[in-house]
Amino acid sequence: MSSRVGRKFVVSLFGQSHSAAVGCVVEGVPAGRAIDFADLRAFLARRAPNGAAYSTARKETDAFEFVGGLVDGVTCGAPLAALIRNADAHSADYDQVRRMPRPGHADYVARAKFGAAHDVAGGGHFSGRLTAPLCIAGGIAKQMLRLRGVEVGAHLARVACIDDAPWPSQGLAPDDVGRPGGKSFPVVDDDAGMRMRDAIAAARAAGDSVGGVVECAAVGLPIGVGEPIFDGIESALGRILFGIPAVKGVEFGCGFAAADMCGSVHNDPYRMRDGHVAFESNNAGGILGGISTGEPVMVRVAFKPTSSIFLEQRSVDLERGCNADLTLSGRHDPCVAVRAVPVVEAACAVALYDLMSEAGLA
Amino acid sequence: MSSRVGRKFVVSLFGQSHSAAVGCVVEGVPAGRAIDFADLRAFLARRAPNGAAYSTARKETDAFEFVGGLVDGVTCGAPLAALIRNADAHSADYDQVRRMPRPGHADYVARAKFGAAHDVAGGGHFSGRLTAPLCIAGGIAKQMLRLRGVEVGAHLARVACIDDAPWPSQGLAPDDVGRPGGKSFPVVDDDAGMRMRDAIAAARAAGDSVGGVVECAAVGLPIGVGEPIFDGIESALGRILFGIPAVKGVEFGCGFAAADMCGSVHNDPYRMRDGHVAFESNNAGGILGGISTGEPVMVRVAFKPTSSIFLEQRSVDLERGCNADLTLSGRHDPCVAVRAVPVVEAACAVALYDLMSEAGLA
Amino acid sequence: MSSRVGRKFVVSLFGQSHSAAVGCVVEGVPAGRAIDFADLRAFLARRAPNGAAYSTARKETDAFEFVGGLVDGVTCGAPLAALIRNADAHSADYDQVRRMPRPGHADYVARAKFGAAHDVAGGGHFSGRLTAPLCIAGGIAKQMLRLRGVEVGAHLARVACIDDAPWPSQGLAPDDVGRPGGKSFPVVDDDAGMRMRDAIAAARAAGDSVGGVVECAAVGLPIGVGEPIFDGIESALGRILFGIPAVKGVEFGCGFAAADMCGSVHNDPYRMRDGHVAFESNNAGGILGGISTGEPVMVRVAFKPTSSIFLEQRSVDLERGCNADLTLSGRHDPCVAVRAVPVVEAACAVALYDLMSEAGLA
Amino acid sequence: MSSRVGRKFVVSLFGQSHSAAVGCVVEGVPAGRAIDFADLRAFLARRAPNGAAYSTARKETDAFEFVGGLVDGVTCGAPLAALIRNADAHSADYDQVRRMPRPGHADYVARAKFGAAHDVAGGGHFSGRLTAPLCIAGGIAKQMLRLRGVEVGAHLARVACIDDAPWPSQGLAPDDVGRPGGKSFPVVDDDAGMRMRDAIAAARAAGDSVGGVVECAAVGLPIGVGEPIFDGIESALGRILFGIPAVKGVEFGCGFAAADMCGSVHNDPYRMRDGHVAFESNNAGGILGGISTGEPVMVRVAFKPTSSIFLEQRSVDLERGCNADLTLSGRHDPCVAVRAVPVVEAACAVALYDLMSEAGLA
């Protein structure tokens, strides 16, 4: 069992969707660092449902309390521990799930793994709710990275076959990567965003859901971050990103498109620029041999469509051992990728700050 | 620094391309298990260059020696330690590289990270050569998994935009996943394979290289394998697969295609079949919430084109601080994806056997 | 930074003496295990100050709240997370300490390590207060071990040169090791206990403090528990026991006395007894090669005298850079070893249950 | 299973007493550090048997080969891997042991844990032979620590109730701690050493063995090294020291004697000296709250008498299930503590350099 990631900047998540609280323990922040709570609250607000047509109706203020690790808002060298109380939990919604596993959810495999004791309410420990404490850890990591000149940002790159304007792989400024996060709908091209919202609203109206792709960039990462072989940047980001519910694919730089390219096109040439070694392109997504090149780290993350839909689905009744058709009620995002944008930022920030710490750059 | 992966089945890799040897230490194999050396040699032979037009001319017999962990070929409970001597090393080929970083390789970032002490010969510790000891560990993991009814196999799914016949996501038999590995060119559809070889030979003739995609499947994995959040199957496979040189993308089940689907299509329904709960489809790639469903685990891995090409490339002279055009000599695969097929199997076997061990199923 | 121990049964401690709360995250308890809260409260009550003459006046009800990992008091497979609020904190007592480090405490080294941001109040994260959440984890481990027939108990073996009746190294029954913990003063020989209390009260009256030795035994541990070399029982217990504040020595079996023995006396002979292999003695303290023999595991832990005394002590004024005499006020145990008895049990239970889990016996 | 220790400076040991080789993988040495092989050979020679009356007759040249991690004797950033071939192995000596476990050895418990597959020859992976690769890792750690002004040394403090002159807890110079290691018999007081040798020779003549105590000091360690709670210096040294075969006790500073002291005597006062904060005494053994104080780190390690004696011992015949008297032949030290002196230095150096690395001081 493990809900922990990191080697020097270590994040442990705890809690279930409907337990008393969810939270995190975060080790590895140097002592003497002030936490910007307003910034952290604003970051968590991006993940919280906002009542829009593309979001769940569940009210999650995500108000956090730090119970350890701080003195007057400054880290003291002890592990950080933070809680978010689970206020608006409706366990009643989930009685049916105990008997009938929801297609696309972990209900059935979790029951097979943990037995009847598994906390099925809201998906228990497998709930997207756990991304809230991940965002606390990630929000802190983002602040620590910013102190080192590294800015991590993401946007909704694709929803329902509608593409946002892609980010260039070179020349991204810190403001550029932060801009989408400052909008109510995190895209670069607001026209594309409008069409995405329409598509999401249409899916919701049809009782269905859609998937999406989130693109994340880290700019300002110095060259030389990342450890050999199994602790390179791709490995570290891959591990943590696949820990986000609904993620089914991760690619860096040209990613799967690179498999269709030839070396003479894909290799990023070197040139001297202003007396420094520079890359003429960034097909590598800022990573060679698992180590940062100094160019922006570019990663794309594929999210499957929300598993909770309101159309009738084919399931089984585990108690009676027969087929059963299932129609879900409850409150769910029709497109998890939207609120996942800050979660991807959080995951990337946690992994990158851990590698920065490993490299002695925390 | 870390070249180690796993929690209970722990693999540590050591050595450089041109050091005295490469090797691995493998912890976590239960005592009393006989190692099938003929099977292990045959597995490593699949990774070794075979002199074909799509392979490097470097001679690597990959003859291994176990120096610890075995008594008469049976595990005794101590860590396994194995060596492969580096016989056919031509360090002379790499003097140029000390000054001029090869585009697409880790030369430049490794020098930035480790300084002039970095072992540039053959890419040092970043060399694909390290996949040989990974295959020793993986070959052992494959044998241990086989004892538990789990078969891991892979095929070359795509090269230079040529697709092999894809594997069905359901109904794969152990023989099916093993078949491509038994061929000199690891594909399902030999006609497609012939076209791939022609494309690779053409790239070689042009002094260029091509990328590819490897598809891997694990059949027979019981339901319930995988740990919550950051130690799910996708996270574990993601971490280790991105540790293979040249991997730029990893996806499970429908992967990136899932981002374009709606939930009513992507969700895998449940039905009772012969008194057991069954899935009607396997879009999830055998994984829900990071935990195995009992369906085949399906993963696709994108490899960038071989970075070492023989066309003139734009680089810099680090000593003289000026631009320099680089033309590589040496011996390199024009398509790393071909020999990577057993490496992907090895990596998946290592990660899955570790999770099996975590679940008490070793 | 790390306040975490264990590989499969993993305990993370958080909080400071005067932060909002102290607590723990506990991974690795199998799903479906009922937690006996009455037993757990009773165990924590043993650690809490009881107002006796040998105890601090600080009121610590140590009332805990589980915020994750349980459904109706039964483990669900998610990490356990528990909190104890810090009610009775008097930070005012510690203003002086910011300037004048207390001899024997971590104040000065922690300031050197963490800077002025270190939480000096009550010793911050270094406070014995952190042993309360350790007792939550240990109380749970004791319950899990009991389910496997293993009983862990301890007694106050020595205080101020007064020895309790020692435990025999063979033939201890579960009730034997549990008995001292059931008393208000945890000794085997109540007369010795009375003399210890007098010595402690005398030290308190003199404004001074005394040290002590705690002996702990684990009976019922099956043979074969413990991993090779650095994860043997002695290594695992040694690491966690030295994590308890004020511990300066740890010995197993004959311990330091073994250094004065000859092999013919120290070696424990084997004999057949009722058709089973038995040991004729247990000088090894139930451990050979780091692995359990099936005999009781016997460990002795040396505690230094309480660092907080009320006599004038020589210190320095860090702000003015001059010598300063320090006289402490506040509330402190004159002998930490007394309340440390359940803490030693907790630490041993955590380490042993982790090794049981590693051995697949959880 | 685990034979690995460390978090940033990570040492993995492999091999058995009679396997092809023993060796280690060492991660975490910064790139660009030259290894002094003459110094390393000299260090290993201190552990190797020297044919003296107090030593085994087994010939172990302990000639090592580095197969990875170095270029021209300088670390390149890849893990270090080193081998020592097992030349002089007499497996024939151990056939008897398969049936009759040797009292005091791990034979019986290892068989219970690993089954008949356990490598009984020479104690297999539990053999003191594994301390040779530990000394390779430790010799490297000692060199790295020396670069940081830290000198680790040890002496034989007590054998057969004969005490060497103890080291003062303050004012030790680097030369002081290195001096005993430069002698053929590692003591401070050569007269005491002579008496120890006589006692060891007498034990050997009687077919018996004796135990001993090793005292180790690390001078020059800066203040602030060590992590909170479970990764303090005592925890780190305790874990690794108890991993050395035959160690049964570990104490720091006054250790068990501290349990008999009162706080007013044990607390180390602070005074200003030459404008700096200084300690007036070092009863703490250079450690407060698990963190270094800047005073010498002082640790004492108790070794039980060599388990292999040549007197008839009571054992059992596991095959015939009856009592059996056992008389060992073979080649064994009558006092393991003598050759353990450099091993204790190695273990302490490994643990301290790991903590230095954690603190960013590697």
Position A133 scores a pLDDT of 98
Measured distance CA(C109)–CA(C267) in Å, rounded: 43
One-letter identity of residue A113: K
What's residue A92's pLDDT? 59
A320 close to A326: Cβ distance less than 8 angstroms:
no
- pLDDT, residue D56, reads 60
Top residue of C288, C325, C332, C357 to mutate, by most chain D CBs within 10 Å, is C288
**Which whole number is the average pLDDT over C215-243?**
97
CA distance A29 to chain D (A): 13
Buried b (16+ CB within 10 A) or exposed e, B299-317: bbbbbbbbbbbbeebebbb
How many residue contacts between A and B have a Cβ separation below 8 Å?
353
Tokens 């000593």, residue? B319
Q: Is the pLDDT of residue A114 over 60?
A: yes
Q: Are the beta carbons of D101 and C270 separated by less than 8 Å?
A: yes
DSSP code, position A126: G
**Nearest residue to C150 (alpha-carbon basis) of C184, C134, C174:** C174
Q: What is the pLDDT of residue B87?
A: 81
Question: Do D20 and B115 count as a contact with CB atoms less than 8 A apart?
Answer: no
Q: Using one digit for the tens of pLDDT, what is the confidence trace for D126-158?
A: 999 999 999 999 999 999 999 999 999 999 999
Q: What is the mean pLDDT of residues B257-267?
A: 98
Interface check C183 vs B, CB under 8 A: no
C308:D263 CB<8 A: yes
Is pLDDT of B103 > 80? yes
Burial environment of residue D294 by CB neighbours within 10 A (0 to 12, 13 to 18, 19 or more): buried
Q: Do A21 and C68 touch (CB under 8 A)?
A: yes
What percentage of chain C has pLDDT greater than the value 70? 95
Q: What is the mean pLDDT of residues D54-73?
A: 81
Q: What pLDDT, on the 0 to 100 scale, is given for residue C90?
A: 58
pLDDT grade for C56, boundaries at 50, 70 and 90 = low
Taking 70 as the threshold, does the pLDDT of residue D333 lie above it? Answer: yes
| DSSP type of residue D127 | S
d(CA C148, CA C135): 19
Q: How many CA atoms lie within 13 A of B90 on its CB side?
A: 11
Give the C-alpha separation, C223 to C225, whole Å.
6
**Tens digit of pLDDT for each residue in D245-257?**
999 999 999 999 9
Q: Is the Cβ of D78 closer than 8 Å to some Cβ of chain A?
A: yes
Query: For chain B, what is the largest distance between any 2 Cα atoms, rounded to a whole number of angstroms?
Result: 74
Tell me the pLDDT band of A218, cut-offs 50, 70 and 90.
very high
The per-residue pLDDT for range D93-117, each reduced to its tens digit, is 567 778 999 999 999 999 999 999 9
Which of A7, A78, A228 is opposite residue D228, by nearest beta carbon?
A: A78
Map D198-254 to HEC letters. Answer: HHHHHHHHCCCCECEEEEEEEECCCCCCCCCHHHCHHHHHHHHHCCCCCEEEEEECC
In the block, which residue shows the tokens 């319950």? C143
Cβ contacts of D132 within 8 Å, gap of 6 or more = D22, D44, D47, D48, D60, D62, D84
Mean pLDDT of C126-132: 94
A61 or D344: which leads in pLDDT: D344
Of B113-127, B190-204, D62-76, D289-303, the range with the lowest mean pLDDT is B113-127
CB contacts, 8 Å: C263 with chain D: 104, 208-210, 304-309
Q: Burial letters for B149-164: b for 16+ Cβ neighbours within 10 Å, e otherwise?
A: ebbbbbbbbbbbebeb
Kindly tell me if the per-residue pLDDT of B138 is higher than 70. yes
Q: Confidence band (pLDDT; 50, 70, 90) for D122?
A: confident
pLDDT score recorded for residue C37: 97
Q: Which of A7, A77, A360 sits opposite D360 (nearest CB)?
A: A360
CA–CA dist B299, A315 (Å, integer)? 25
- Tell me, yes or no, if B269 comes closer than 8 A to chain C by beta carbon: no
Interface check B360 vs C, CB under 8 A: yes
**Residues 6+ away with beta carbon under 8 Å from A249:** A300, A301, A302, B249, B250, B251, B252, B255, B256, B258, B259
Please give the helix or strand (H or E) that residue A228 lies within, else none: none
Residue C310 has pLDDT above 70, yes or no: yes
Chain A touching partners, 3 or more CB pairs below 8 A: B, C, D
* Alpha-carbon span A264 to A267, nearest angstrom: 6
Cα torsion at C242, C245, C246, C249 (round to 10°)? Answer: -10
Q: Which residues of C touch A71 (CB under 8 A)?
A: 19, 117, 119, 121
* Among candidate residues B84, B284, B253, the one with its CA nearest the CA of residue B166: B253
Q: Which residue in chain A has the smallest CA separation from C114? A: A31
Average pLDDT over residues D312-318: 95
Closest chain D C-alpha to A27 CA, distance in angstroms: 11
User: pLDDT tens for residues A234-260?
Assistant: 999 999 999 999 999 999 999 999 999
Mean pLDDT of B334-345: 97
CA-CA-CA-CA dihedral for C6, C7, C8, C10, to nearest 10: 40
The DSSP string of B145-209 is: HHHTT-EEEEEEEEETTEEPPPPPSS---HHHHHTGGGSSS--S-HHHHHHHHHHHHHHHHTT--
Tokens found for residue B243? 């540790």
Query: Which of D 142-161 lie inside 8 A of C, CB atoms?
Result: 158, 160-161
pLDDT above 70 covers a percentage of chain D that reads 95
Percent of chain B with pLDDT over 70: 95
What whole-number distance in Å separates Cα of residue A162 and Cα of residue A338? 13
Mean pLDDT, to the nearest integer, of B164-179?
97
D310 contacts chain B (CB < 8 A):
no
Q: Using CB atoms within 10 A of its CB, is residue A175 exposed (0-12), middle (13-18) or buried (19+)?
A: exposed
Chain B, nearest residue to A127 by Cα: B289
Q: Round to whole Å and give the CA distance between A278 and B100.
A: 13
Task: Answer for the pair A223, A284: CB distance below 8 angstroms, yes or no.
Answer: no
Tell me what pLDDT residue B152 has. 98
Element at C148 (helix H, strand E) = none
Report the relative pairing of strands C151-159 and C162-163 from DSSP bridges.
antiparallel
Percent of chain A with pLDDT over 70: 95
Given pLDDT bands bounded at 50, 70 and 90, which one contains residue D123? Answer: confident
- Residue B114 CA from chain centroid, whole number: 25
Residue A272 to residue B322: CA distance in whole angstroms: 6
Burial class (CB in 10 A: 0-12, 13-18, 19+), A189: middle
Mean pLDDT of all residues in chain C? 94
Tens-digit pLDDT profile for residues B70-86: 999 999 999 999 999 99
C81 token code pair: 């997370």
Contact C86, C20 (CB under 8 A): yes
